[in-house]
Structure 1
Amino acid sequence: MNRVNVIGLGPGSPEYVTPAAVKLLNVSDVVIGGTRNLGMLDFIPGLENIRFERYDITGRLEDAKSFIISEMAERRVSVIASGDPGFYGILGFLKRFLSDEELNVIPGISSVQYMFAKIALPWESARLGSIHGRSEDLTALVSGGCAAFLTDSRETISSIAKRLSNSGFGKRKMYAGCNLSYPEEIIHSGSVDDFIAKDIDNRLCVVVIADE
């Protein structure tokens, strides 16, 4: 039985896909992923095998379980994910029904890692979290020092800043990076209080609260 490749595609731009990821994709028989990530395959430098079957799991993640189990016996299966699959990614889902021995994980550059690089801030002591499709106690996260978390469109950056300000973090340095690695990338900075009045499209954002 083949191992299932779990491949991180990086923060978004095809140029951040690693050579290790390209090597495995080139020998895959079927590639499983969301609509956006599957579309990205056509633009990855060095990817020559564009004849593999594509299986879109957008809106039907649970269906992927039976498909993967049935296909992995005879075919080389790769599951792709944005960022790193182990950071609030698809790896947790796959480990519900696949053993460690059945998985071959290829790390990708996470959007959080990319964000810290863009603002030239060391992050070995940062506390990491996510409010992307889930809840997170931001007060507890930020109170421990430098923190970073993923966002989604359910709550605006302004609203997040207001919550943090009300918890006493209004003077802390804040960064919000949106559409990271894409041509329309923009990184905002200021105090937490400054962000309360900002109107930011936060569909694809990483927020960093510096320890200062």
Structure 2
Amino acid sequence: MDKITIVGCGPGDAKFMTQAGVTAASQADFLIGNKRLLELINGAKGEKIDTGVNIEKTVECIGRKRKEGKVALLVSGDPGLFSISRQVTQKFGYKACHVIPGISSIQLAFAKLGISWDDALIISAHAADPEVDEALAAQNRKIAVLLGRNESVKWIDGFIKRIGGDRGLFVCENLGLENERFFETTADKIGALDLASRTIVLLIDKELVN
């Protein structure tokens, strides 16, 4: 049985996909992922299967189709960062998977500012109540928060007030796409913003960006 290939597709525009990822997806018998990612692969010989963002449905589909041929799972960003690839490797085992990295939205966000991110604190606010050590966060000079839902804006508003500090706030919305927005805002305004689910907010010590 062939390995499951997990392809990091970047932020959602074909120009950010790696050649290795495109080649692997094009050679698969079955391409599994959401509609937006499937549309990135042109001329693929395999059957495209839209499983949306339903993790359980996706894992079940992989289990069935890998018995019939080569499977490529398309995931947004990089498979190693808040990705469904975690559930897939846990289900089938890492030896059954071949992971092809992709460009993450975190990389793009920090690239906008031209600063490194290897020492940044990365927080996913997709959950209703993110588990964050706020005392530790208050000491960090670089924080990236992935929103993912409407309630995340309210959460980050309170989070910013609780950790304090003199920080620049940068909103990175739909990075890499045609409707991309990147702008600086302030702590007193962020709670009123209407932001897309594909948004990252960077909280950066002002000494690093002045």
Tell me the TM-score normalized by structure 2.
Answer: 0.86
1:184 alignment partner in structure 2 = 179
Deviation at 1:165, TM superposition (A): 4.2
The question of 1:95 aligning with 2:89 is answered yes
Unaligned ranges ≥5, structure 1: 43-47
The Cα RMSD (Å) is: 2.1
The question of 1:82 aligning with 2:90 is answered no
1:45 alignment partner in structure 2 = none
2:49 alignment partner in structure 1 = 55
User: What are the within-5 Å matches in structure 2 for residues 1-20 of structure 1?
Assistant: 1-20=1-20
Identity of aligned residues (%): 26
**1:98-122 CA distance string (max 9 Å, x none):** 1111000001111111111112121
Structure 1 contact 129–141 (Cα < 8 Å) conserved: no
CA distance in 2, matches of 1:67, 1:108: 22
The question of 1:153 aligning with 2:175 is answered no
Matched residue SS, 2:69:
coil
Structure 1 contact 32–80 (Cα < 8 Å) conserved: yes
The question of 1:211 aligning with 2:205 is answered yes
Matched residue SS, 2:201:
strand
Tell me the TM-score normalized by structure 1.
Answer: 0.86
Q: Indicate the larger mover: 23-32 or 65-74.
A: 65-74
State how many pairs are aligned.
204
Q: Runs ≥4 in structure 1, deviation > 6 angstroms? A: none
CA distance in 2, matches of 1:73, 1:140: 48
Structure 2 contact 105–175 (Cα < 8 Å) conserved: yes
Unaligned ranges ≥5, structure 2: none
